[in-house]
Amino acid sequence: MKFITVDFDKKYNRERFSCSHDSLNNYLKRQATKESKAGLAKVYLLVNTSNEVIGYYSLSSSELPKDCIPDVMLKKLPKGYTGYPAILLGRLAVTKNETGKGLGGELLVDAIHRCVIHSLSIGTCVIMIDPIDESATKFYEKFMFKRLPDSDRMLLHIDFNLRSHFGLE
Ligand SMILES: CC(C)(COP(=O)(O)OP(=O)(O)OC[C@H]1O[C@@H](n2cnc3c(N)ncnc32)[C@H](O)[C@@H]1OP(=O)(O)O)[C@@H](O)C(=O)NCCC(=O)NCCS
């Protein structure tokens, strides 16, 4: 079965969505409509055959301040910038009944793929996330996100290797 996410739309049923973090449930049910309309975040949904939302993530334009970037990555970037164009993966969650089936991983890869495609038309060099807890950090580590020194924030550099992974080089 092909894994497909769809644009946020109120026609999809969000009421039964329940992951282990209330803030992520509330965002989907109460904030996602407003944020989508205002252009603050683009929310993508994974829905089942009954049109119920079983997973989602959100993406927004952002900037990564230069001071936060580890030297190893900074070396690969041109100098003279105070910050670098980034995409914030603001939220990502799978409803409890559907966890452990690979959907969270597929959602994350779908989000990364969208970011890489975006970077082909609008300068963007990094995907960042602020994991909600230590367990989420471990999940993102599985997908090559690196934790910044002195911060909980994690990064994935959009580089030649990542573009190649998606056949975009
Ligand atoms: C974190 C979450 C998205 C994972 O979703 P999931 O559908 O259970 O994940 P998957 O089944 O796709 O797992 C993919 C891989 O990550 C691993 N994994 C999943 N959750 C993990 C966790 N909490 N810690 C470490 N590894 C984890 C799986 O073992 C699997 O590894 P494998 O491929 O080697 O077997 C889901 O549990 C969730 O929504 N949690 C609550 C919200 C949250 O924490 N969101 C992220 C923070 S913003």
The residues lining ligand 1, judged by C-beta closer than 6 Å to any ligand atom, are: 19-21, 24, 91-94, 99-105, 131-132, 135-136, 138-139, 142
Instruction: Work out the number of other CB atoms within 10 angstroms of the CB of residue 73.
Output: 17
Q: Tell me: pLDDT of 167 over 70.
A: yes
Q: How far is the CA of 67 from the centre of ligand 1 (A)?
A: 30
**Spatial distance between the Cα atoms of 33 and 52, rounded to a whole number of angstroms:** 16
Q: How far is the CA of 51 from the centre of ligand 1 (A)?
A: 23
Q: Degrees (nearest 5) of the Cα angle 133, 131, 162?
A: 140
Instruction: Work out the number of other CB atoms within 10 angstroms of the CB of residue 54.
Output: 22
Can you list the domains of the chain with their CATH numbers? 5-165 (3.40.630.30)
Task: Confirm if 82 and 95 have CB atoms less than 8 A apart.
Answer: no
Instruction: Work out the number of other CB atoms within 10 angstroms of the CB of residue 25.
Output: 16
Could you report the per-residue pLDDT of 12-57, keeping only the tens digit for each? Answer: 999 999 999 999 999 999 999 999 999 999 999 999 999 999 999 9
Q: How far is the CA of 17 from the centre of ligand 1 (A)?
A: 16
Instruction: Work out the number of other CB atoms within 10 angstroms of the CB of residue 40.
Output: 14
Q: How far is the CA of 112 from the centre of ligand 1 (A)?
A: 15
Could you report the per-residue pLDDT of 64-112, keeping only the tens digit for each? Answer: 999 888 888 888 888 899 999 999 999 999 999 999 999 999 999 999 9
Tell me the one-letter amino acid at 120: L
Q: Which residue has the higher pLDDT, 150 or 145?
A: 145
Atom from ligand 1 closest to the CA of residue 94: 39
**Spatial distance between the Cα atoms of 85 and 109, rounded to a whole number of angstroms:** 20
Q: What pLDDT was estimated at residue 101?
A: 97
Q: Tell me: pLDDT of 2 over 80.
A: no
For ligand 1, atom 40, which residue shows the shortest CA distance? 93
**Spatial distance between the Cα atoms of 76 and 97, rounded to a whole number of angstroms:** 42
List b or e across 3-20, with b for residues whose CB sees 16 or more CB atoms inside 10 angstroms: eebeebeeebebeebebe
